[in-house]
Structure 1
Amino acid sequence: MATFVGASQAGIPGALAATCGVVLPAFCIILLIAALLRNLLRYAAVQDFLSGIRPCIVALILATAVTMGLHTLFGFAKLGDGLHPDAKGICILALLVGVHALTKRLRKHAPSPILMILLSAGLGICFYDFPC
């Protein structure tokens, strides 16, 4: 979103500036946390805190996945809305599950997540009438 606004206001330099303005603060904070965390992991209290917060993080990721899945596949945005299945989305999901299962069976390990993301992007572009 920031890249789009920056590009619309000042072209490529605006897009770069807006993107850097969004990405750099978070990047610097993560670098700082990573540097400090290495030293802090020696303390049992920090390890206990991280072990305790892990289920919360898993729950947040799972809730996001369920919400996005319901919205994408069935058009379910909030309670009270009916289910409106998206045949294209369900077909893409079925293809991805099939590719994953076939790859796991033939190669004895799961496919690369990056390749699965690229495949899903390509399928989305093709199925939703973008030029292939």
Structure 2
Amino acid sequence: SESTPGPMGVNSATYAGFHAAGIPGAITATCSLVLPSVIIIILVSRALDKFRDSPLVKNGFYGLRPASAGLIFGAMLEVFVASLLHTENWSGIASLGSVINVPAIIIFLVLSLGIWKLKKLHPIVFILIGAVCGIVFNL
């Protein structure tokens, strides 16, 4: 699902705008969704430039690093569980074989080895390989 460009909200806004008013509608809808966030980010970044040397700001960002890492790890763990396990079979009496998604684990290991060995390939190649594997193996 993440092999298409852009977040889902941007894709939906562009699609709805295009169907409502063609290309100008798509551009207007996309800009209407993205521009407020861009303006706020610009204003916040300018304000942070003024307080860059403040100990309070430095400590705040120092605390945000582990929190961000934890959120990213949590999202990764959810994707791993959803991809590598049959969570619908998860119960107290389910056998281990009915819970583990063996084809997905094998594909994951092969692709991980491929990424490790072929580090010079562009990341989009691996995204496309993952999309094809998901479609072919219905994972």
Common topology (TM > 0.5): yes
State the superposition RMSD in angstroms: 3.0
Corresponding residue for residue 107 of structure 1: none
Q: 2:71 aligned with 1:55, yes or no?
A: no
1:70 Cα deviation (Å)? 2.0
User: 2:17 & 2:51 partners in 1: Cα distance?
Assistant: 39
Q: Deviations over 1:36-74 (max 9, x none)?
A: 222211111110111112211111111111112322343
Distance 1:43 1:19, change over 3 A: same
Distance 1:86 1:6, change over 3 A: farther
Identity among equivalent positions (%) equals: 25
User: 2:86 & 2:21 partners in 1: Cα distance?
Assistant: 36
The TM-score, its normalising length taken from structure 2, stands at 0.66
Q: Which runs of 5+ in 2 are unaligned?
A: 1-11, 92-97
Answer 1 or 2: higher relative contact order, Cα 8 Å, separation at least 6. Answer: 2
CA contact (8 A) 2:17 2:26 kept: yes
Q: 2:54 aligned with 1:43, yes or no?
A: yes
Amino acid at match of 2:42: L
Q: Which runs of 5+ in 1 are unaligned?
A: 104-109
The TM-score, its normalising length taken from structure 1, stands at 0.69
Corresponding residue for residue 101 of structure 1: 116
Corresponding residue for residue 87 of structure 1: 103
User: 1:21 & 1:67 partners in 2: Cα distance?
Assistant: 32
